[in-house]
Amino acid sequence: MEEVRVGEIRIGEGNPLVLIAGPCVIENEDITFTTAKGLKEICDDLKIPLIFKSSFDKANRTSLSSFRGPGMDKGLRVLNDIKRKFSVPVLSDIHSVDQVKPASEVLDVLQIPAFLSRQTDLILSSSNTGKPVNVKKGQFLSPWDVRNIVEKFISTGNSKLMITERGTSFGYHNLVVDFRGLPIIRSLGYPVIFDVTHSLQLPASEGSSSGGQREFTAPLMRAAVGAGIDGLFIEVHPEPGRALCDGPNMVSLNEVEGFLKQAKTLHDMVRTWGAV
């Protein structure tokens, strides 16, 4: 398996479980910094490598009136400040080829959203930066379809690729996770991340917004870690009930430590069995 390095963090190939976490979208500096500080303290205490995540623009919101974020320029400034203040690598979504260059000058990891996981030009442009890239598997793709993403990405010579599972469309307004897919994707030779919170999303189920089932966070997280993954993706907010995006499926900051203790214990156990 390829080992992906993000600064001092090593992902895959038997390395410790990594956490990608933060608010769904940059709402304001206070919430973003509060969440980053809390996550940094928790992860330092548990010795879990942290990559901070928040989107500068959510270009795929359900409704035209939905909050999208501060935009690329302001959002990248906030993320750069987070990186410097807390000494953590940062990740955010990119949606178009013209965003790749300016984003890569700040971000440590570029992320391609699930709806764009088949966009060849975006994949190639991201890969050409030489940066680590996290591609979220589309809700419409099978585990086997990920091979095409991998082949596009590595065609440039960049092998710093992670694939994130975030559930598969199951009828209207619902997602399910086929846990067989985790080892199938991982067999392609690149680290696999499990997006706990987006797997619990109920897309557009509220009409003009998405619902979610955060009450199932712990069982899905445990199942994924038990299946042998390399990292967890968890969107976190100090008050999910007041969040401007994905509140119903986000995890409260004060619950994160308990979830991560479970995940770390299980990951260490699974690793001794040779599944990770």
pLDDT for 257: 98
Among 105, 108, 107, 126, CA closest to 117: 126
Which domains are present in the chain?
4-272 (3.20.20.70)
pLDDT for 162: 98
pLDDT for 276: 55
Among 143, 213, 215, CA closest to 178: 143
Calpha distance 58→55 (Å, rounded): 6
Evaluate whether 115 touches 131 at the Cβ level (below 8 Å). Answer: no
pLDDT for 158: 98
Q: What is the pTM of this model?
A: 0.95
Amino acid making up residue 141: L
pLDDT for 207: 67
List average pLDDT for each run of 10 residues in the chain, which is 276 residues long. 96 95 97 98 98 93 82 98 98 98 98 97 98 98 98 98 96 94 97 95 70 86 97 97 88 97 95 71
Evaluate whether 152 touches 123 at the Cβ level (below 8 Å). Answer: yes
Amino acid making up residue 201: Q
pLDDT for 4: 98
Evaluate whether 141 touches 150 at the Cβ level (below 8 Å). Answer: no
Exposed e or buried b per residue across 56-93, where buried means at least 16 C-beta atoms within 10 angstroms of its C-beta: bbbeebeeeeeebbbebeebbebbeebbeebebbbbbb
pLDDT for 70: 95
Could you tell me the CA-to-CA distances from 18 to 49, 103, 136, 247 in Å, in that order? Answer: 5, 22, 16, 23
pLDDT for 205: 60
pLDDT for 96: 97
Calpha distance 142→167 (Å, rounded): 10
